Structure 1
Amino acid sequence: MSHRLFVALASLGMATITYATTPVLVIHGGSGVIKRDMTPAKEKAVRAAMSKALLDGYAQLKAGKPALDAVTTALTVLEDDADFNAGKGSVFTHDGKTDMDAAIMDGDSLRAGSVAGVHRVKNPILLARAVMEHSSHVMLSGDGAEAFAKEQGIALVDPSYFHTDQRWQQLQKALKEDAAKQPHADVATAKHFGTVGAVALDSEGHLAAGTSTGGMTDKRWGRIGDSPIIGAGTYANAQCAVSGTGWGEFYIRTVAAHEICMKVSMLNEPIQRAAAEVINQEIPSMGGNGGAIALDSDGNIAMPFNTDGMYRGWIGADGVPHVAIYDDEPDPSNHAQPPAEASSAD
């Protein structure tokens, strides 16, 4: 039985039974070659930030707010943390600039908003939501997107806000390797990973998905990845919500997020199988890699990835944030909501 809101209205004298949805929030902070070489302090800080994102987002759901609020709240926390490649922690382009993308989608209405190539927007996910809610468009880019941000009162900051020594040194290393015509030896400096994402199910049974990224270190020519492309790195409908993280070109070519949701909503595949088929079979068969988080309307979670690790977390009926990083940490591979409690009134 679906755990979306269901009300059985009976004739006089019979019970009225309400089945309520238990809210769920799932997040990721990127996938890739994630080794156990972080300092204990760094790992503690990363796990704490993800726990905060889960708790703050889930508080929105517990207060009866829509899934969109949980997604934007959780992603804002991660965008404000320099340990993640989005917002404050965005990597630098070949020209030494930040070039950020974000997208959000409401599964109930299929409304969506996204931004690409913004340089001064403190929280790109908030601008993506403003595009969805306060414009007639889906995607805005560059200077036009920032002009819209100013009109909407979305915070703009000086580019120096995004300058962190860690990201700057990654660029300097990449530029030296470029000059020597060498491949990027350090995967933290390499090109394919670095995203934050969230998917949520609210008490009304509605789903939403959002993704935000600083892109790739040393990227050129205004490259745009999958994150802001609706259907590629971000998608939600009434039955499924997905946020991807990985080698964006392959997520675009497979329309990965949309394909997962079509397998769930049109072919009635379990979300774990649908997500694994796309992330761990189709994308690698083409030469790509990465991961994703996916959530269905019954609260089932999938977190497939084919890399050494993926920063990931989830929170549900127990109200406790669960965070994992490495490939040998447990996932809620069959995390279904418990049977909903029925309330009746004669």
Structure 2
Amino acid sequence: AGLSEALEAGAQILSRGGSAVDAVEAGARMLEENSCFNAGRGSVLTEDGVVELDAAIMEGGNRQAGAVAGIRTTRAPISLARRLMEHGPHVFLTGEAADRFASAAGIEQVDNDFFILPERRRQLEEAIAAGSEADPIKYGTIGAVAVDVSGNVAAATSTGGITAKRWGRVGDSPLIGAGTYADNRSAAVSATGSGEYFIRAVAAHQLAERIRIGGETLQQALDGVLDDIRSLGGKGGLIAVAPNGEAAWGFTTPAMYRGMADENGRRVGIYSEDDER
């Protein structure tokens, strides 16, 4: 249901002639507010028992981007990333200073407890007891990609990271070119999975450049990047959309919650056999 609502939010904007950036922000915000997903409220906890959030947004026209990492009090991380993209002098802000930027920009601030659910506390306790930093159940990231009537593409990614993360760990999600990328010459891309491997593969940028320079199709490029990440020992998934409206997704995990909205309607899937690509 949460996925369908996010799809609808983005699709309504696009159907009214709105921008791809507006659409991906709206979709991502719906998922950040839905506590079922590991972004915004309901995110996983760090080893210290707090929530630290990462997010990035990028538009493909002039490759503007905004990204934040390790924020603790900004209710809407993706909206902060967009504010930075459009009105800030920098691309990437981190930690308490990023929250201060958000506060000065009038973006709602909350106590860190707002983000925390009892279920996530239990998962943290289990992870610490097991002596494992990575969440053995699944990776959690939310992402959105869109193309508008003008052929502009945009991507947005938001996450709470991995359970029991420490030392200020930041994954691929807010890193432009790793977990998030958009270029009108190729594609908009958002990633989820074992972030360290997606960083090393520069996954989102690699996908776009396989198209722009390598001449691959969208699906070929996406599959090639997942193969590259698999060869390094990582796993995860990617969603991508091209300026011509073509869309693609793929994943090397057992499942990836995903959905797509276009002129043919809405489709949602979880497992690979659900694919209607």
Q: Which residue of 1 aligns with 2:256?
A: 310
Q: Which residue of 2 aligns with 1:37?
A: none
TM-fit CA distance, 1:187: 2.2
Q: How does 1:1-346 map to 2 (within 5 A)?
A: 48-178=1-131, 183=132, 187-188=136-137, 193-238=139-184, 239-279=186-226, 281-318=227-264, 320-332=265-277
After superposition, the CA RMSD in angstroms is 1.2
Matched residues in 2 for 1:96 and 1:185: separation?
15
> SS where residue 273 of structure 2 aligns?
coil
- 1:102–1:184 distance in 2 versus 1, CA, 3 Å: closer
Matched residues in 2 for 1:124 and 1:197: separation?
13
Matched residues in 2 for 1:56 and 1:282: separation?
33
TM-fit CA distance, 1:152: 0.8
TM-fit CA distance, 1:310: 0.3
- Listed as ranges, the gaps of 5+ residues in structure 1 are 1-47, 333-346
CA contact (8 A) 1:82 1:90 kept: yes
Residues paired across the two proteins, number: 276
Matched residues in 2 for 1:331 and 1:141: separation?
39
TM-fit CA distance, 1:217: 0.2
CA contact (8 A) 2:66 2:91 kept: yes
Letter in 1 for 2:260: W
Matched residues in 2 for 1:168 and 1:294: separation?
33
Letter in 1 for 2:198: Y
CA contact (8 A) 1:207 1:297 kept: yes
Q: Which residue of 2 aligns with 1:343?
A: none
Matched residues in 1 for 2:216 and 2:133: separation?
39
Of 321-330 and 125-134, deviating more is: 321-330
TM-fit CA distance, 1:160: 1.4
Larger radius of gyration: 1
Give the TM-score normalised by structure 1: 0.78
Bigger RCO of structures 1 and 2 (CA < 8 A, at least 6 apart): 1
Letter in 1 for 2:257: Y
CA contact (8 A) 2:134 2:163 kept: no
